[in-house]
Amino acid sequence: MTPKLKVLRVIFDGEMRPSEIPALRGAIADKVGQASVLFHNHIESGFRYRYPLIQYKCIRNHPALICIGEGVDEIHHFFSQKDWSVEISGRKLPMKIEHLDMNQFSMQVWDREFSYRIQSWIALNQETYREFQQITEKTQQIPFLEKKLTGNILSMAKGIGWFIEKPIKTRITDLADPYPLKVKGLYVTGFRALFRTNVFLPDGIGLGKHVSLGFGTVQQVKNDRAEKTTITETTEEV
C-alpha cells in the first residue's frame, strides 16, 4: 500500500534573516509550550532522534513552517494561540499568514527519476567529514556524497513511517564547492547540489542534519529545465 503524506507549508509576513531561524524556532516552541514535542524535538531523556516533522524555514526573507505528517496535526497548538506574534532579535514579528498550502502526496519509488536541488545541505558528521577530506577528486567525492544522500532519504522515509523496499537510485548531477555554514555557534561544511532520484520528494522538506533549522531544503527542478540547470543558477533559500 502506497503511504499518503500530508505536507503543510505556511509562509508568514514580516522579514527575517536565515540566521534567525533558531530564534524563530525557540520563540514558537516557547509559545506553544514544552508539551508539544514536535515543535522543539526535546524529550525528558534528552533529544528526540527522529526526522523532524515541523521544520522552520526562511523563504524569500519571510518566516515559514513546513509541517509533515503528524506535524500537520500538531500545528493547531500554535494556531490556537490568541496572539501568534513572536519576538526575535529584539523585535516583534506579527506572524500573519501570507501564504498557506496543504498537499497530500503518494510516497513511492518510481520507475522514473525526478530532478531536485538541495541547499545548505549538511551531509557529514565529524567522522565522515574526515573521510571526505581524504578524497581530493570531485569525481570520487560525488559517489561518496550520493551514498549520504541516499541514507538521508531513507532516514526521512523511516521518520514518516514509510519503509522503502525497492532499490533507491540517487545521482548528483552538479555539485558546488563545499562552504562553511554556522550552526549553533559552530561552523560545519555545507553543500549545494543538483541531483536526480527515483523517489518523489515534496518541495520544501529537508534532508541531512539540522533540517528542523532550515538546512538541507529540497526543491524540485521541473523537467523542462532539469537538463539545462546548473547549481550556479540556483539561489540560497532555507
Cα-Cα-Cα-Cα torsion 195, 201, 205, 211, nearest 10 degrees, comes to -60
Asked whether the predicted pLDDT for residue 234 surpasses 90, the reply is: no
Q: What is the pLDDT of residue 222?
A: 86
Q: How confident is the model at residue 42 (pLDDT cuts 50, 70, 90)?
A: low
Residue whose C-alpha cell is 521518520: 159
Identify which has the larger pLDDT, 132 or 38.
132
pLDDT digits (tens, 9 = 90+) for 62-106: 999 999 999 999 999 999 999 999 999 999 999 999 999 999 999
Angstrom distances, CA of residue 179 to CA of 79, 119, 124, 176, 231? 37, 11, 13, 9, 14
pLDDT digits (tens, 9 = 90+) for 87-96: 999 999 999 9
Q: How confident is the model at residue 48 (pLDDT cuts 50, 70, 90)?
A: low
Select from 204, 231, 206 the least CA-distant residue to 220: 204
User: What length does the chain have?
Assistant: 238
Residue whose C-alpha cell is 497548538: 77
Q: What is the pLDDT of residue 37?
A: 85
Identify which has the larger pLDDT, 205 or 3.
205
Q: What is the pLDDT of residue 236?
A: 46
Angle (CA) 235-15-64 rounded to 5° is 70
| pLDDT above 70: percentage of residues in the chain | 89
Total Cβ atoms within 10 A of residue 88: 20
Asked whether the predicted pLDDT for residue 119 surpasses 80, the reply is: yes
Q: What is the pLDDT of residue 33?
A: 84
Asked whether the predicted pLDDT for residue 228 surpasses 80, the reply is: no
pLDDT digits (tens, 9 = 90+) for 151-173: 999 999 999 999 998 999 999 99
Q: What is the Cα–Cα distance from 60 to 45, expressed in whole angstroms?
A: 36
Ordered alpha helix ranges (H), the chain: 21-32, 70-74, 76-79, 126-133, 138-159, 223-226
The pairing of beta strand 42-43 with beta strand 86-88: unpaired
pTM for the model stands at 0.90
Identify which has the larger pLDDT, 237 or 148.
148
CA 17 from centroid of its chain's CA atoms: 17
Lowest mean pLDDT among 21-25, 37-41, 82-86: 37-41
Asked whether the predicted pLDDT for residue 238 surpasses 50, the reply is: no
Q: What is the pLDDT of residue 112?
A: 94
Residue whose C-alpha cell is 527575517: 16
Asked whether the predicted pLDDT for residue 188 surpasses 70, the reply is: yes
